[in-house]
Amino acid sequence: MIVTTEYIDLPLPGNPMRMFVAAPNVPGQFPGIWCYSDIFQLTPPMLRFCIRLAGYGFIAVAPEIYRRIEPPGTAIPFDDAGRTRGLDDAQKTPVAHFDADCRSGLDWLAQHPKVAPGKIGAMGFCIGGHLAFRAALQPDVRAAACWYGTGIHNGKLGQDADAGSLGRVNEIRGELLMIFGERDPHVPSDAREIVNRALKSSGVRYETRLFPAEHAFARDEGPRFDPESTDQAFAATISLFRRTFPS
C-alpha cells in the first residue's frame, strides 16, 4: 500500500508538539497507532518504521517526545554525545509531562478524519516502549506493542525514579505485546521476569516475544540491527493490531 507522509505541529502550552504522520494513500478509515521513538526522537529509522506500518493499513503518528526541551525538528544523532543528550532530555522530563502529551496526542488522533472511530493503538521503542505501556493505561488504547521497553520493571521513566507503571497494570483494558531481546543489558532476564509475573497475575491479555538479539535490535542503522528478529517482531506487531482492529 502506498502511503503519504507529513509533519504536523499540534499547538500545546509551551512549544508545539511536532508529529510525523504516515497514512495509507487510499480512501477510507484505518486504525490509528500512536508511535513512540527511542531517546533519539524522529530519526530516519523511526520514520521508516512508521512508513512501513502505514503501508499495512494504519495511520502511524509519531510525536517528538522532548517538545518542551528540544526545538521542533530535532533528531538526535546516534553517537555518544547524542546518547548523552537524549538521556539528559529524558531525565529533565517528568512523567506527568509525558502523560499529558500522550493524552493530547490520542485526542488528536481520535479526531483525525482517516482514523476509524474507536480504533486506537500504541507502540514504541526503548523509552518509547515504556511510554507505549503507559499509553495502554488510557481507556481508549485497545492494543500496545512495547519493543524492549526500559524501566517498566522498576518504574524508572524520565525524571521520575518510580512512575509506578507496573503497579497500574490492572487499569489496562487492551492487549499488550511485550518484545524483548534476550541479550538486552537494559532489560535483562530478571527484569523481564518481574514484568511477566505482574502481567500474569493481573489477568491482562498479553504476549511476550523474546528474540536472540540485543537492545535496539530494530534500529536499522548501527551494529545491533538484526533484520530477522526485526521482521519477526514486526509481524507479531501487525498480527496484534489486525487481530484487535479487524477490517
The active-site residue, picked from 38, 89, 101, 184, is 184
Residue 93: CB atoms within 10 Å: 21
pLDDT (tens place) for every residue of the chain, 247 residues total: 999 999 999 999 989 999 999 999 999 999 999 999 999 999 999 999 999 999 999 999 999 999 999 999 999 999 999 999 999 999 999 999 999 999 999 999 999 999 999 999 999 999 999 999 999 999 999 999 999 999 999 999 999 999 999 999 999 999 999 999 999 999 999 999 999 999 999 999 999 999 999 999 999 999 999 999 999 999 999 999 999 999 8
215 is catalytic: yes
The active-site residue, picked from 126, 130, 146, 226, is 126
In 15-114, where do the E strands start and end?
17-24, 30-36, 59-63
Residue 188: CB atoms within 10 Å: 13
Q: Which residue has the cell 505485546?
A: 177
Residue 136: CB atoms within 10 Å: 27
pTM beyond cutoff 0.85: yes
3-class DSSP state for residue 244?
Answer: helix
Give the pLDDT confidence score for residue 90 in this predicted structure. 98
The active-site residue, picked from 97, 130, 153, 215, is 215
Measured CA to CA, the distance from residue 168 to residue 7 in angstroms comes to 33
Beta-sheet strand order (sheet of 175-181): 3-10, 17-24, 59-63, 30-36, 115-125, 143-147, 175-181, 206-211
126 is catalytic: yes
35 is catalytic: no
